[in-house]
Amino acid sequence: MCGISALLSLEGRPVSSTEKHLASLDDQLSESLDTIQHRGPDARGQWVSEDGKVYLGHVRLSIVDLSPRGNQPFHDSVDDVHAVVNGELYDDEYYRKLLGDEYDFQSLSDCEVVLALYRHYGLSFLSHLRGEFALILWDARRKLFIAARDRFGVKSLYYTIVNGQLLVATEMKCFLPFGWKPEWDVQSLRECGWMFGAGTMFKGVYSISPGHYIISRGFKPIQDAVYWDAEYPDKRNPETRSEAEMIDNVRDRLMEAIKIRLRADVPLGIYLSGGIDSSAVAGMVAHLVKEEGARLGNDDSQLLSRIKCFTVQFDKDSGADESDIAQRTAEWLGVDFHPVRITEDVIVSKFEDTIWHSETPCRTQMALGDLPWPRLPREGSDEHFGGYAELRHDFMLETDPSWPDSLSETVLAELAQKQKLTLPTAANFLNIKRTPVSTQRMLNHTSVLTVLSSLGRLPFAEWTNKYATTFPETAQVESLNGQVREAIMNRWHPLHTAEYVFTKGFFSNLLLRYLGDNIDMVHHVETRPPFLDHHFTEYANGLPPSLKIKCSLEDGSTTEKYILREAVRPFITDEIYTRTKKPYLGPTKFPENGPLHQLFLRLTSQENIEALGFVDWEGSREHIRRAFEDKDMVSFRVAFSICQFVVLSQKFGVARATP
């Protein structure tokens, strides 16, 4: 719901006390906030410590408590603890009652609970936060600086060091006013580190990983720490719960996650596609309003016709339009339906703005339709219920000993063959045979990391090969801590390994940047994804793989997200219940010499490609040709990536990469 920017002078960095110096940093912080003013049009606040070593800045989009009392930064009553928070926190009313006798709340803002929880629980306060957030907290008495990010990385938070000063902000562009000079990190590009780990495509710039925080004590160098991580059951332990019991629990937990996200002092809407996730959310919201009298944002009318649902509407022949299905769901529910038409001209007109705001190249064309309209609470269960087609191969690698009706590995192999889920076909990548055997063993032979790594491949300039001594899959699995690697090899079912790898990297670093907060805030819209509620996901992670993906012996078919389908059955149409998942990819084919083709040709001029330094111009031109002349989808995705790097290069003023 906001944007934050902060500065901490690290040990050894001389800090002048002159008014000129302080004014300079204050102006830089103000300019940093200017770059993300769209995230917080309602209020702005800046604070500097007496010694001039700590600066906190905040721009606010008011969602809960619209009064000036909710403006930030927040300060406790003794002026020891100061904080800026971006996001939405739930259960704050519970903690207000619990801690009201010991903490003097100054507002009704949900985010102020951060200070109360810190003063009560100390550093363990992060474990008590429920919601989507990024925060920075300064304890002046203890000289303790903390920056933290929510468990799934819904809210972005980056950091770097410039001239001995730690900079932390919602978006990387916030660093530019402080003198940051962006450079490409070629090794990260070749090893796909920017897609999976804490590194970015820029040297020396990192994202705080989901479920992590960084901390500095006494202005000393920062340390990275984990306060939460996903966990999965030991695959050898038999499941004792019944299928019916687990279906009921999934339903109840999802309903509760949706219900707590209806609270707001502003209007609330729902993103509705043709998929089961958004349809289930819409159906459950309608149930809560109609049957339980729930208040939808600032609307307490309890009228289904006041529930606004929005959907993207592409051309009917694009292969990507789901508006007809979404409309049928809306009519079945009796809610207000709003299609938002996206044409090729609209995509072209918003292309460069999308990249500037997302700050991350997206290999798939799903981002093409996102910027021109505000997205609202949307899908997000695929990472926890085996919803992606790429996960089926890993599901069929092993039987599921936790479930009594699990199929044998022989039968699973036969089903995989019927569905043509041999590894090269499922992955559509080129170098699986060259992946080191040791890496395959570390990943328990799962393929999802190799599939995702293939999305980062570009026609790299030959000189960059010296940075390609480590395979992307090897680099990424080695970046995991030893306990996770042990679990992958010995305790987790391959499906759960695939879910973990997907969620911890590609999901937070790419998908949530394009299909989440960075783009939504352009329209002053806050995303509240109930499927990423950690109370809900922790339960979902513990479900047997055989209930996430269910196989049929009769025809060899698989039903993805089986248990979720059963859990939300009362709230969706028969059409949605029986529909096979269709990934949201956006339009897949565009005409030769059309607006998008012309844009790609302009962006991939020889001058622009050579200005990147790490991309081969001849190779990029060939991908452009094949993308539009041959309608080759792999080449389209490569061309799409290259164009985005060009835009980032120009808008960020990135220096040319050189040997």
Annotated binding site: 110, 312
On the CB side of 467, CA atoms within 13 Å amount to 19
Q: What is the 3-state secondary structure (H, E, C) of 552-606?
A: CCCCCCEEECHHHHHHHHHHCCHHHHHCCCCCCCCCCCCCCCCHHHHHHHHHCCH
Buried b (16+ CB within 10 A) or exposed e, 396-416: bbbbbbbbeebbeeeebeebb
174 is catalytic: no
Nearest-angstrom CA–CA distance, 502 and 390: 10
Buried b (16+ CB within 10 A) or exposed e, 589-619: ebeeeebbbebbbebbeeebbebbbbbbbeb
> What are the backbone dihedrals phi and psi of residue 226, each rounded to the nearest 5 degrees, phi first?
-105, 135
* DSSP character string of 263-316: --SS--EEE--SSHHHHHHHHHHHHHHHHH---BTTB-S--GGG-EEEEEE--G
User: Which residues belong to the annotated binding site for L-glutamine?
Assistant: 110
Residue whose entry in the numeric block shows the structure tokens 């009594």: 404
Amino acid at 536: F
Put residue 84 in one of left, alpha, beta given phi > 0 → left and psi -120 to 50 → alpha.
beta
Nearest by Cα to 126 from 83, 168, 166? 83
Distance from chain centroid for Cα 603: 27
> What are the backbone dihedrals phi and psi of residue 4, each rounded to the nearest 5 degrees, phi first?
-130, 150
- Rounded alpha-carbon distances, angstroms, from residue 44 to 30, 61, 106, 322: 9, 9, 17, 39
Q: What would you report as the CA-atom Rg of the chain, rounded to the nearest whole angstrom?
A: 25
Sign of CA dihedral 302, 305, 308, 312: positive
User: Which residues belong to the annotated binding site for ATP?
Assistant: 312
Neighbours of 345 (CB within 10 A): 11
Residues 6+ apart with CB under 8 A from 417: none
H-type alpha helices, 169-233: 186-191, 193-196
Residue whose entry in the numeric block shows the structure tokens 């729930």: 294
* DSSP character string of 237-253: SPP-S-HHHHHHHHHHH
Q: What angle do CA 208, 444, 477 make, to 5 degrees?
A: 25
* DSSP character string of 346-376: HHHHHHHHHHHHH-S--SSGGGGGTTTS---
Nearest by Cα to 599 from 255, 267, 350, 226? 350
Nearest by Cα to 549 from 506, 494, 503, 501? 494
* DSSP character string of 480-508: S-HHHHHHHHHTS-HHHHHHHHIIIIIII
Nearest-angstrom CA–CA distance, 594 and 560: 37
Nearest-angstrom CA–CA distance, 429 and 434: 11
Distance from chain centroid for Cα 390: 19
Amino acid at 172: M
Largest Cα–Cα distance of the chain, in whole Å?
79
Report the catalytic residues.
2
